[in-house]
Amino acid sequence: MKDVFQYVEANRGRFIAELLTLLRQPSISAQNVGVTECAELVLRFMSEAGVDARLIPTAGYPVVFGQVLAPGAARTVLIYGHYDVQPPEPLEEWKTPPFEPSLRNGRIYARGAGDNKGQMFAHLKAVEAVLQTRGRLPVNVKLCFEGEEEISSRNLPGFVGANRELLAADMVYASDGPMHASGPIVFFGCRGLLYLELTARGAKRDLHSGNYGGVAPAPAAHLARALASLWTDRGKVAVGGFYDRVRKPSRADRRALQAIPFAAKSVREDLGCPPATAADAGGYYRRLLIQPNLNIAGLTAGYQGPGSKTIIPHMARAKLDARLVMDQDPDEIEDKIRLHLKRRGFGDIEVKRLGAVPPSRTPMDHPLGRAVVRAVKQAWGRRPILFPNLGGTIPDYLFTQVLGLPSVWVPYAPHDEANHAPNESITIEGFMNGIRSTAAGFFEIAAV
């Protein structure tokens, strides 16, 4: 691998400059800002790297698909990533503007730096590096970069279902989410997601709280009571049957969770406050990885500006996201939440689904997964930590359940990448070692 790694190092400046170009292009799928332009840009980068690339339209934003076939190669690796990003708000909390990348402290700061443009781009630069040094790849590589991951990959199920042959492979290799505070990790699945919007309505307009307080409906208080009913006083989800299908952790799961080095101090510094759970790896990672969670992602009603405004809001809204684990089913959980609200007297609150992704898992001892673990060790010079799955959600079920492939994930972004938040970043070390990991992965996978 020495020649490949040397090429990567020799082209560091250009690789970073190209990534900055990609980060300068907004691609906010939730707000329909720049996504199509970004797809064109990714296509151009793919073609320039020597990949046979094209845009494949979907009902939403296009998939940028590319492949490099290696004559005689036994294995095919399908690489997945996404070029869309989260909304950048709140803008005033960014130290430098989200779409004007800034290099500070060995990091690149920009919306999408970690999630997922920097990681996705590392794969592409690995393809380039191996092609340029060896003239060919040791495996067939297929690149599938979507533009709707941050809006629950709406059209990816349709795309995967309609393109099984195009996507045919031996495994999926992908990079998303953050590393551990102590270094590189490999994970083998993810929690699922159910995203709901709850809306309580009152009068047809905001009312003066003096002229109507006591006689008008109060949707904000109604919504607060509905939300409060979703948890017990101890913070467990109070929705009937919510935990019914949660898998008991296997011995292997528990061993893996215990083996994750838990840096209590680092977690506390990262959060700026103590975590909400037991300060040991077993407890922390059990709650984060193999237990479900129900979260209020947003609340809005009435006046939110400075000072006081005395109104009865005519409407109150909450965004709820549930992280689901094997074998919870998003449809079933949504039904249970709707039933819960109805039973508790909140049947008048509108429930709208904004997204759903089932949880997914690949066995941790799969030979192709172990090949990837070896590749990451080569790139970083140390063994990665193995996670049974990610706390976040990725459309991994499409690979494991729809395509039936083993799926292995290697994050290239730092533990404190601040994805989905202001001042998102990727370390330059993570980006460069990411390129090396993918490149080494091609050879390790070919050797299985």
Is residue 75 within 8 A of residue 139, CB to CB? The reply is yes
Residue 341: closest CA among 238, 218, 232: 238
Supply the minimum distance, in Å, between the C-beta of residue 331 and its own copies. Answer: 17
Cis peptide before 116 (omega within 30 of 0): yes
Tokens, residue 289: 């990885």
Q: Which of residues 320-339 bind its own copies (CB under 8 A)?
A: 321, 323
Q: Which of 102, 133, 199, 300 binds its own copies (CB under 8 A)?
A: 300
d(CA 253, CA 393): 18
Should residue 310 be labelled a site residue for its own copies when binding is judged by CB under 8 A?
yes
Selected range binding its own copies among 14-22, 54-62, 302-310, 327-335, rule: CB under 8 A: 302-310
Should residue 50 be labelled a site residue for its own copies when binding is judged by CB under 8 A?
no
**How many chain residues are in contact with its own copies, going by CB under 8 A?**
98
Residue 196, φ and ψ in degrees, nearest 5? -125, 150
Q: Which of 178, 395, 406, 441 binds its own copies (CB under 8 A)?
A: 178
Should residue 288 be labelled a site residue for its own copies when binding is judged by CB under 8 A?
yes
Exposure of 87 by Cβ count < 10 A (0-12 exposed, 13-18 middle, 19+ buried)? middle
Residue 337, φ and ψ in degrees, nearest 5? -65, -45
Should residue 213 be labelled a site residue for its own copies when binding is judged by CB under 8 A?
yes
Residue 416, φ and ψ in degrees, nearest 5? -110, 45
Should residue 347 be labelled a site residue for its own copies when binding is judged by CB under 8 A?
no
Should residue 345 be labelled a site residue for its own copies when binding is judged by CB under 8 A?
yes
Supply the minimum distance, in Å, between the C-beta of residue 93 and its own copies. Answer: 8
Should residue 266 be labelled a site residue for its own copies when binding is judged by CB under 8 A?
no
Supply the minimum distance, in Å, between the C-beta of residue 290 and its own copies. Answer: 10
Exposure of 234 by Cβ count < 10 A (0-12 exposed, 13-18 middle, 19+ buried)? exposed
Should residue 163 be labelled a site residue for its own copies when binding is judged by CB under 8 A?
no
Helix, strand or coil, per DSSP, at residue 236: coil
Selected range binding its own copies among 191-199, 248-256, 333-341, 359-367, rule: CB under 8 A: 191-199
Is residue 169 within 8 A of residue 143, CB to CB? The reply is no
Should residue 224 be labelled a site residue for its own copies when binding is judged by CB under 8 A?
yes
d(CA 349, CA 330): 20
Selected range binding its own copies among 247-255, 292-300, 361-369, 396-404, rule: CB under 8 A: 292-300
Q: Which of residues 85-144 bind its own copies (CB under 8 A)?
A: 86-87, 89, 93, 115
Selected range binding its own copies among 15-23, 56-64, 101-109, 416-424, rule: CB under 8 A: 416-424
Should residue 155 be labelled a site residue for its own copies when binding is judged by CB under 8 A?
no
Q: Which of 119, 153, 291, 407 binds its own copies (CB under 8 A)?
A: 291
Site string for its own copies, 233-262 (x = CB under 8 A): x-x---------------------------
Question: Quick one: CA dihedral 13, 37, 58, 419, positive or negative?
Answer: positive
Is residue 322 within 8 A of residue 222, CB to CB? The reply is no
Question: Quick one: CA dihedral 226, 228, 229, 230, positive or negative?
Answer: positive
Q: Which of residues 378-407 bind its own copies (CB under 8 A)?
A: 390-393
Should residue 177 be labelled a site residue for its own copies when binding is judged by CB under 8 A?
yes
Contacts of 168 (CB under 8 A, 6+ apart): 76
The residue (of 292 and 441) whose beta carbon lies closer to its own copies is 292
Site string for its own copies, 2-41 (x = CB under 8 A): ---------------------------xxx----------
The residue (of 46 and 237) whose beta carbon lies closer to its own copies is 237
Residue with token string 């990091």 = 107
As a whole number of angstroms, the longest Cα–Cα distance in the chain is 80
Written as one string, the DSSP assignment of 322-350 is: EEE-TT--HHHHHHHHHHHHHHTT-TTSE
